Structure 1
Amino acid sequence: MTRRLFVGLALAFAIVLGLSPSASAAVIPGVPMAGRVDTATPGSTPSPTLPEEDPVRAAQYWLDDYGITEAWKTTRGKGVRIAIIDTGIGRGPAEFAGAVVGGTDVSGAGSEDGRTPVGAIDADHGSWVASLAAARGTGPQTGMIGVAPEAELLSISVGFGSSATVSFVDQIADAVVWAVDNGADIINMSLTTNVPDWDESWDKAFLYAHDKDVVVIVAAGNRASGTTRVGAPATIPGVLTVGGVDPSGRASVGASTQGITIGVSAPSEKLLGVSANGQLVQWDGTSGAAPIVAGIAALVRAAHPDLDVNNVINRIIETATPPASTSERNALLYGSGLVDAAAAVGASVPSVSVNPMGSLSEWIRLYRRADSGPAPVPTVTPFEVEMLPPADAAPAPVSLLLPTYASVLYGSLPLIVLTSTAILVALGVTAAVRRIRSSSLRRAADIQE
């Protein structure tokens, strides 16, 4: 696919994987705005009753169901940096205080620090994604908290379609390289192109991330958004592609998709997200499943800082659990199964030397045109070859009706000889027949006399 065609497809089909905010995000009734801590009225007497469980924390079912709270007994992700390549992380919410340590804009439409949300429709998407990965909460036991609440965040804002002045292809390549160069240990990409192919510039960017030991985690996409099968970058070898399941652990119908590149699955329905303005919403999509796994990867890297990218991904895959229904253990839907943060952090997993999600360098060797390399160096001294003698002059043209020496010698003369011989033989035979006949007549006359 040519670069121009790919850019056109990317601009036409590149969408944020969470459903459009009007369809998938809903403000949670009865829950105060995220980032705002309610206090008692001055002069009032605090109630002596025991504090009730914070409804925001209670709504985050994935923390207990997927072993995240158990993994926190070992680590909460301190010292690990997650780059969120998305529409930008809002500046205002208290949940991000102290979490975002840097950022940039590659779309041409945001601010230099990547903290100004980009896009008219999907502006809050980057904040939702970041809050699932590493939100700090609004207090020790209140407010939304991410899977790796002590990890650091990088905010890299990208734009889709008319919201960007830079092509989508260039944005992604630039964003990945910037994330690597600015200390990212993990990159989260909750986006897709809805096409399986990708531009060659992505080869270099994603290979650069792998060579620098950075884990890249990508959302698989949603059927409800038109992604019937995974598309790039979820098709790039070496990235960990995440599918989505509902709260019961079954493959989500609308908030996930299918494909052979899915590595693991995580919750993608009834998720919480902190918007750029601090409002808490409920939303669906593998855009949310991916940062849950990115947070788990941060827990693994914090607990096992000696592991390279291959073994971080392998731990998450090898400790995944099968879906509850044995009849639905379909790798196209679940990959290796449902993530288990506690097992990924604490289980004994043999080390590997290759990435279980494939090798991008090997794919490039097989499917991209190889460089021709330098010209071979001559091994002998060149020498001059003698000129060939001039070619014989062409014979003068002759009429095809006139006889030639060859035609007379090999055609006319043999024909004359054979014809003459045949005539002489015929004459001899005729004369002999006449003599025999004459002799027979004379004998017959003598007998009659």
Structure 2
Amino acid sequence: MAAARKSRGTRVRHLGLAGRTGTVLLAAGIGVLSPASVALPAWAQQSSVAPDAGGYYATPPLVDPTKKPNDEGKPDKTYEQKTLCVQRSKLGGDQVDIKSRPWGQEYLQIQKVHELMTGATGSIGGGVKVAVIDTGVTAHPYFKNPVESGGDYVATPNGGKAPGLEDCDGHGTEVAGIIAANPPDKSIGFRGVAPDATIMSIRQSSQNYEEAEKKPEPPPPPPSNSAPPGSSNNPPGSQLPPSSQGNGAVGGAADGTGPVQDKGGRQQEQGKTAGTLKTLAQAVVRAVDRGAQVINMSVDNCRRADGKITLGEQQLQAAVNYAVNQNVVVVAAAGNVGDNCPQNDQPDPRAPRMIVTPPWFADDVLSVAAIDDTGGVAEFSVNGPWVSVAAPGTKIISLDPAEGSSSLANLTIEGGKDPGPIQGTSFAAPYVAGLAALVRAKFPGLQAREVMNRIKATAQHPAAPGGRDNFVGFGVVDPIAALTAIVPSEADKAKAVPLPSNLPPSNDRDSAPMIVALAGTGGGLVALLVTLFVVHSVRRNRPTTAPGRKTP
């Protein structure tokens, strides 16, 4: 936490004094008197934020609208559950409630953001619907608004639940929690970015469900001396293989759960698990047609950049283009490094060796990289010319996704291994999706592309040409700036709103450098005025003729 604050606190802009002292003093004075209306630097005032990075595979081909799939609203294959769903698992000893506030919330000043939104609009993202296309979302009691059923492309939910409201993997519930969780206990530090927003859940993928195998022909009847029925080694009524294991995590009042997080993140079309680019595209279309204003996709597909665009990629490209043109903001995880997705660390950054979709379609998608608690890029975050912005993606605290749980989780257990932290670009994306919901609530006149541009233009830009790089894109998002800054390209639509009188200071930085700069500027101005006065006096009193000569 201290490291993260220090990293942000040392970003001090230095004022030049030579040649423009009066102008600088006036500008600085305006900035001090009206902090909510400080104009952005020139590099952040671009209406279109970056030229094409170049490289044959860095830029996808043009969108083919005819590839937009028809929404069939059902799985494309028959999938069966092969692994136990997330379970509340006792790890030994009594667990305690997770009261601490996640470092990511502190880094992004989420508490101040909530105070700002409450003062300016009376709610924190109220009236905005965010579609979470993921592994489903459990109806956790910490959601202020009921989770809406959006659809299911995996299987018919167990227990008579509505489509999309079963989360066997646990991943989607944690993603949704970062967007809109609102624990009623004020002593709990964790909060969603937009706790008054409504979540619509569409289950599109699962690593616990796999494509059903064709049933073999029934065996011939057993001989008369065979063992009697019921003597199998498998327990009666068992539905899953004996080797199947549940997953759990530390957290919650007494125990907790965690999501399945295989190395590499939530990959599409990997083996026989549920989730294809075709159904992902259909889910995007479905979310748009059902009234979503923001879409979060913490799922992706990673492949080598050694072939033409595939049909599934074309369908997804057409779907996200349809979404943006229908005024829906699309947010996607940038992807995690894994066995099937090595890092893009090739010599030419403009020609990546791996392509990640949907981030590849950067014209229509906000793709989100992950940073760690030092403020640096997380080692697992995939680099690429399509990265838009970055957000916290490590040491995550979110909702416990186990059925019937009313607590939080901060660690995950997989395959009987030791507990490990919840992390990934999957959990950086919902920070940005939540911010997009807040921008939509505060500036309802902005279109989807303008919301995306505002989030990029107000990010903490890296020291790179054009204010972006392949690691964090246009930088770590800055929610306070995104909700208050003046962006010239939309000045007629997003008027600056004065901050409430009870709002804490906008940051915790030391004011000494600014005081020194202003003092120096004032001193320089005084010295300049004195010099001009002396020079003017000398010139006025200088004799106009030489001594002893008469004027003609």
Shorter-chain TM-score: what band?
0.5 to 0.7
Describe the shift of the 1:214–1:224 C-alpha distance in structure 2 as closer, same or farther (beyond 3 A).
same
Give the whole-Å Cα distance in 2 for the aligned partners of 1:205 and 1:28. Answer: 47
| Structure 2 residue 176 is the aligned partner of structure 1 residue 113 | no
| Structure 2 residue 227 is the aligned partner of structure 1 residue 89 | no
Give the whole-Å Cα distance in 2 for the aligned partners of 1:269 and 1:177. Answer: 31
1:307-352, Cα deviation, whole Å (9 max, x unpaired): 00111011110111135x899x871101011111111011111226
Q: Which residue of 1 aligns with 2:372?
A: 246
Give 5+ residue unaligned stretches, structure 2.
1-60, 62-66, 68-75, 77-85, 118-123, 213-273, 344-353, 411-421, 492-552
What is the correspondence of 1:167-206 to structure 2 with a 5 Å cutoff? 168-195=276-303, 197-198=309-310, 199=312, 200-206=314-320
Q: Which residue of 1 aligns with 2:521?
A: none
Q: Which residue of 2 aligns with 1:285?
A: 424
Q: One-letter code of the match for 1:340?
A: D
1:151-189, Cα deviation, whole Å (9 max, x unpaired): 110010012465367761331122111111111000000
Contact 1:193 1:232 in 2 (8 A): yes
Q: Which residue of 1 aligns with 2:440?
A: 301
Residue 272 of structure 1: which of 381, 397, 407 is its match? 397
Describe the shift of the 1:225–1:267 C-alpha distance in structure 2 as closer, same or farther (beyond 3 A).
farther
Give the whole-Å Cα distance in 2 for the aligned partners of 1:184 and 1:160. Answer: 22
Contact 2:165 2:201 in 1 (8 A): yes
Describe the shift of the 1:306–1:266 C-alpha distance in structure 2 as closer, same or farther (beyond 3 A).
same
Q: Which residue of 1 aligns with 2:105?
A: 63
1:400-426, Cα deviation, whole Å (9 max, x unpaired): xxxxxxxxxxxxxxxxxxxxxxxxxxx
Describe the shift of the 1:247–1:204 C-alpha distance in structure 2 as closer, same or farther (beyond 3 A).
same
Percent identical:
32
Describe the shift of the 1:238–1:69 C-alpha distance in structure 2 as closer, same or farther (beyond 3 A).
same
Q: One-letter code of the match for 2:320?
A: F
| Structure 2 residue 474 is the aligned partner of structure 1 residue 319 | no
Q: Which residue of 1 aligns with 2:385?
A: 260
Q: One-letter code of the match for 1:137?
A: P
| Structure 2 residue 254 is the aligned partner of structure 1 residue 212 | no
Alpha-carbon deviation of 1:296? 0.6
Q: Which residue of 2 aligns with 1:425?
A: none
Higher helix fraction (1 or 2): 1
Describe the shift of the 1:164–1:97 C-alpha distance in structure 2 as closer, same or farther (beyond 3 A).
farther
| Structure 2 residue 282 is the aligned partner of structure 1 residue 232 | no
Which is worse superposed, 330-339 or 101-110? 101-110
Q: One-letter code of the match for 2:388?
A: G
RMSD value over aligned CA atoms?
A: 3.2
Q: How many residues align?
A: 304
Which is worse superposed, 64-73 or 236-245? 64-73
Give the whole-Å Cα distance in 2 for the aligned partners of 1:108 and 1:102. Answer: 14
Q: Which residue of 2 aligns with 1:222?
A: 336
SS of structure 2 residue aligned to 1:95: coil
Contact 1:134 1:148 in 2 (8 A): yes
Contact 1:321 1:339 in 2 (8 A): yes
| Structure 2 residue 133 is the aligned partner of structure 1 residue 133 | no
Q: One-letter code of the match for 1:66?
A: L
Q: Which residue of 2 aligns with 1:332?
A: 470
Rg larger in 1 or in 2?
1
Describe the shift of the 1:117–1:343 C-alpha distance in structure 2 as closer, same or farther (beyond 3 A).
same
Q: Which has the higher contact order (CA 8 A, sep 6+)?
A: 2
Q: Which residue of 2 aligns with 1:432?
A: none
Contact 2:101 2:190 in 1 (8 A): no
Give 5+ residue unaligned stretches, structure 1.
4-10, 12-20, 34-54, 354-449
